[in-house]
Amino acid sequence: MKATHKFFISVGLALVVLGAATAGQAAAPQAGTIISNQASASFKSCLDDACTETAEAQSVTSNLVETVVQAVPAFTLDTDQTKPAVSGEPVNFPHTLSNTGNVDDTYQLCVVNVNADVSSWALYPDANNDGQPDIGDPLFDSTDTTDDGSGNFCWTSSTRVVAAGEQLDFVIEATPTGTVGQTLTALDISAESSEDPGQIVSNTDSVLFPDGPVFDVVKSLSENQGASPSGNYTVTLRYRNISNQTATNLVIEDELPTEYRDLEGNFTTGDAGGMTYVADSARWSLEPTTPLTDDDDGTQTLAGEAIDVCAYDSGSTDCTDLVRATLASVAPGAEASLSFEVSIDADIPATSVIANTASYAYENQDGDSFGEFDTNTALFTITDIAQNPGVVANNTQADSSLGSDDASDTGNVVEVASIGQGGSAQFDNIIWNTGDGVDSFDIEVQPSNNSVSFTTESSFPDGTVFQLLRSDGATPLTDTTGSGTLDTGPIPVPDSSGNCPARFVTDTANNACGIKVVLKATVPPDALGGPFDVTKVATSNTDASVSNAVTDRLTAISENSVDITNDAEADGNGGAPGEGADPAGGPINTNNVAPGNTTTFNLFINNTGARQDSYALAYSDTLSPFEANQLPDGWQVEFFNDGGNGDCSSLGQAISSTALIPKGGSQQVCAEVTAPDDATGGTEVSVYFRALSQTSGAEDIKHDQVVVSSGPAISLTPDQFGQVEPGSAVVYTHQVANTGNVPLTGLELSATPLDDGWSVVLFEDTDGNGEWSADDTRLDDGDFLATDNSVGELLPGEEVTVFARLFAPSEVSLGTVNIKTLEVVAAEGVSDTATDTTTANNTDIIITKRQAPDTDCDGQPDSGSEFDFVFTGFEVAPGDCVAYELVATNQGAATMNKVTISDRTQSFTVYNVATANCMAPTGSCTDEIDAPVDGGTGPIDVNVGSLAAGEKATLIFGLKVRK
């Protein structure tokens, strides 16, 4: 059998490199980035025929679909250059190779078209980007045996790995010969991508032989990448007279760039931004501690040498927009450097490149002019990735500094006051990016710790189910980094105006963006007490040593309760017969019945607890012990719904338990008692009626009596939540993924518990279509997952789909919650678990999610049978789109109301409005879709109204992968 999603191999390397800042500063996702997507649906069931009252909202999650960003190699090589030279002396040609693609790459370097008048050459690394060869042996030179006989030489090795967004610097040292006044094309340097053979870029290096002095002027930057804005950075212009003649009036000018270029080489000019000179920062290496004047006011003498410097002097006529240095005389062999500082302007998009080239000219002693010549081009790449990561997890949407210390109890505790047994608490935590660039943060839930004291005394009860949700409180959090841990997705830093994108919160005072992450904790139905603490830890994907924790505290779990009354609903003040009464006392109501006849007790089952519940009904003729459904021989009791008159004068459907009753609500129940034909007149029979919650154990017993009258007279991932009707089955889809870096073997899947009346059958997705069918392989005890070969080996990055088919007992009470824990164990000793939480209900809404490529982003999935909507994954290139299909189906017998389908844009994507389409049983619901603007980010919701038994609604939407 073939494992699904084989293209996930090694994707764990991919995600922490590039992320989103703002819509205008978004960088393309790196190759191998996983775009995970899981939707949800919420709905309510009716509690009466007219649907004037509805139950608590229920929610279910869809299967997980994943898309992998395709590798798109690209690079640039800077730059063509012509340099002055002395015949027979070495000349240095600095070059910069920039990986502008979205995948790490290596390159084949070749020196080609070498002029016959170049006697020797060598290519050296330039690790410090100073424009000079690094000390040591060259990478390859003119003695290399790869010469093809035509002056073409290729390095027998490839370059080191150049990461996406990174640059590689090297210098070619060539020795040309020629005559005065001659310009010589010395050689070409070419680079070919290993990821995309045939993609070749080349530069041409030329020399000019002047009749006079010759200078080598090289430009370098102290850093080659950083954020926008950022700084300060040092620019160094090193000059050297490599001739045997004295030069006069050497003028070096650097007009700082006010433009930047994108990955495709297009320049953005005007007020776009680039580099800005830092006032009073110019220095000369002959006396580096003495500032050089910015004003264009004449010569300074330092260390016995004269220099005239001006820099961005608004009062000057010709030095208002540049840095200029003039040296009256430079002797043969003399060398020194001019340096100054610059800052990077704001609002320059990530991956943009700022290219800066200085120029120089000079004269000989006779006053003859030479130049103007250009220096090498120094490149600065804008990156939005955090260089100094930081994170704070706390309880405020306004202050990213609170809770920065895990030992503090200020700002890092989120409290929910109280919930009922078996209920859910939702904790809103804010994860702040306090670093200097984009970062995403793994979120781990640690139930046995809290971030204040790190003790286990107040951990949540065993059996609590935790679910991490996005800021909408409905859509599950996903793993966007391939680390195997759910995460926030990329969180940017504020733009130059101090603002964060709309779906983030902003701390203006501390210049930070944050995102809300919701932790939903569903406690066991038998748990009581409190307080309970759970730790949520946020860890940087850029630097795993950077983390911060927040404590989520549930103050108390309140006891669920029920009260049975006669003839009227409980009013909370003891006004209804039997309200709050002690069943050990006398009977509340006494009914007379003739032998062989029936009498009916009008009961009200009142939910006096904190959340909705349903109750199993029983009777007994004794209280201690209560023997369920025991009466003297010949006596019978049956329970019915009221027939419609509201007084049990007529009977409706026979029942054994109530429907879901919301907190504070009640249900009328008619208890019909039948006496035997031979009952003796005057016989008194006590009937104790009990209402018992099978989810929380809450119960109440009420004492009534019948008197016989004298006359004739019844990780695995993801965690899933679902609904199922008694006696029916629900299928949960999970992915077993190898997120490590070694193969896994002997994978066994199991589910527990198995002795609670709920049965589960496990399957492997044999046909690889992501959907359970009879063709899929059943997994019995001791069976290994087949994965990709006969030994059941799961390679790093691979994943397989498995199914858990859960069967509910036919007699289970509505509202009963079953939790199945699935565990996968490998022979290598690693394991993981996922939980399937199922509620028995008369509702059975399921939601499925599929995807299809939409390469041209026209809103229509690509044509062809292989591009139908599928559960499985595929690759997509930056700039292309993906269409998603969400189908909510009512598999139950009752109509579901207020059905809402929810999803959202994922990390590295924006909304594509062209795809939007919605169909409900009543017709088109496209106009009701609540979604971001085209190209925006945020939640995608649509209320499709009611779904009757067997009906379905479909939401189709599209996302574009950022380019």
- 610 Cβ partners below 8 Å, 6+ apart? 418, 419, 420, 421, 423, 558, 560, 663
Average the pLDDT over 656-663 and give the result: 89
Could you give the CA distance from residue 401 to residue 551 in angstroms, rounded to a whole number? 16
Could you tell me the pLDDT band of residue 192, with boundaries at 50, 70 and 90?
Answer: very high
The end-to-end CA distance of the chain, in Å, is 35
Could you tell me the pLDDT band of residue 218, with boundaries at 50, 70 and 90?
Answer: very high
DSSP secondary structure letter of residue 928 = G
At residue 11, the pLDDT reads: 24
DSSP secondary structure letter of residue 926 = G
Nearest in space to 293 (alpha carbons), one of 323, 321, 318 = 323
Q: Is 562 within 8 Å of 612 (Cβ atoms)? A: no
Nearest in space to 598 (alpha carbons), one of 641, 650, 644, 655 = 650
Could you give the CA distance from residue 266 to residue 287 in angstroms, rounded to a whole number? 41
At residue 25, the pLDDT reads: 41
833, HSE (Cβ side, Cα atoms, 13 Å)? 11
Could you tell me the pLDDT band of residue 783, with boundaries at 50, 70 and 90?
Answer: confident
Among 23-37, 119-133, 745-759, 836-850, where is mean pLDDT lowest?
A: 23-37
At residue 22, the pLDDT reads: 34
pTM above 0.75, yes or no: no
Task: Summarize pLDDT for 870-880 with one digit per residue, the tens.
Answer: 888 888 888 89
Q: Is the pLDDT of residue 865 over 70?
A: no
At residue 2, the pLDDT reads: 32
Q: Is 797 within 8 Å of 744 (Cβ atoms)? A: no
Task: Summarize pLDDT for 548-588 with one digit per residue, the tens.
Answer: 988 888 998 888 889 999 988 888 888 889 988 777 788 99
Average the pLDDT over 373-396 and give the result: 89
Task: Summarize pLDDT for 200-215 with one digit per residue, the tens.
Answer: 999 999 999 998 999 9
Q: Is the pLDDT of residue 99 over 70?
A: yes
Among 124-133, 457-466, 881-890, where is mean pLDDT lowest?
A: 457-466
Residue 645 neighbours by CB distance under 10 Å:
8
Could you give the CA distance from residue 582 to residue 182 in angstroms, rounded to a whole number? 114
| Percent over 90 (pLDDT), the chain | 39
Nearest in space to 694 (alpha carbons), one of 632, 599, 640, 613 = 613
Query: Could you write out the DSSP letters of every residue in 36-102?
Result: EEEEEEEEEEBSSTT-SSBPPPEEEEEEEEEEEEPP---EEEE--EEEE--TTS-EEEEEEEEE-SS
Residue 858 neighbours by CB distance under 10 Å:
13
DSSP secondary structure letter of residue 702 = E
Could you give the CA distance from residue 554 to residue 541 in angstroms, rounded to a whole number? 29
Mean pLDDT of the chain: 85
Q: Is the pLDDT of residue 713 over 90?
A: no
Q: Is 118 within 8 Å of 147 (Cβ atoms)? A: no
DSSP secondary structure letter of residue 775 = T
Could you give the CA distance from residue 703 to residue 689 in angstroms, rounded to a whole number? 7
At residue 50, the pLDDT reads: 67
Nearest in space to 125 (alpha carbons), one of 169, 88, 83 = 169
Determine which helix (DSSP H) or strand (DSSP E) holds 845, and give its type and residue range. Answer: strand 845-854
Nearest in space to 698 (alpha carbons), one of 589, 813, 568 = 813
Nearest in space to 947 (alpha carbons), one of 56, 312, 46 = 46
At residue 690, the pLDDT reads: 95
**Strands of 923-924's sheet in order across:** 845-854, 881-890, 952-961, 909-920, 923-924
Largest interatomic CA distance in the chain:
145
Average the pLDDT over 148-167 and give the result: 83
Query: Could you write out the DSSP letters of every residue in 449-515?
Result: --TTT--STTBPPTT-EEEEE-TTSSSBP--SSSSSS-B---B----TTS---TTSEEETTTTEEEE
Could you give the CA distance from residue 150 to residue 17 in angstroms, rounded to a whole number? 42
Could you give the CA distance from residue 879 to residue 480 in angstroms, rounded to a whole number? 18
At residue 27, the pLDDT reads: 56
At residue 924, the pLDDT reads: 93
Q: Is the pLDDT of residue 710 over 70?
A: no
Q: Give the total residue count for the chain.
A: 963
CB environment 371-399: b (16+ within 10 A), e (fewer) = bebbbbbbbbbbbbbbeebbbbbbbbeeb
Average the pLDDT over 276-292 and give the result: 93
Pairing of strands 590-593, 699-708: parallel
Could you tell me the pLDDT band of residue 455, with boundaries at 50, 70 and 90?
Answer: very low
Could you give the CA distance from residue 720 to residue 94 in angstroms, rounded to a whole number? 57
What token pair was written down for 446? 């640690």
Average the pLDDT over 350-361 and give the result: 90
Average the pLDDT over 281-305 and give the result: 89
Could you tell me the pLDDT band of residue 941, with boundaries at 50, 70 and 90?
Answer: very high
Average the pLDDT over 783-796 and give the result: 73
Among 178-182, 457-461, 707-711, 847-851, where is mean pLDDT lowest?
A: 457-461
At residue 273, the pLDDT reads: 83
Q: Is the pLDDT of residue 146 over 50?
A: yes
- 896 Cβ partners below 8 Å, 6+ apart? 43, 44, 45, 843, 845, 890, 946, 947
DSSP secondary structure letter of residue 938 = S
Q: Is the pLDDT of residue 35 over 80?
A: no
Could you tell me the pLDDT band of residue 100, with boundaries at 50, 70 and 90?
Answer: confident
Task: Summarize pLDDT for 492-502 with one digit per residue, the tens.
Answer: 888 878 888 88
At residue 916, the pLDDT reads: 93
Q: What are phi and psi of 255, to 5 degrees?
A: -90, 105
Beta bridge partner(s), residue 814: none
Amino acid in position 952: K
Task: Summarize pLDDT for 810-840 with one digit per residue, the tens.
Answer: 788 778 889 999 999 888 888 888 889 888 8
Average the pLDDT over 927-949 and give the result: 90
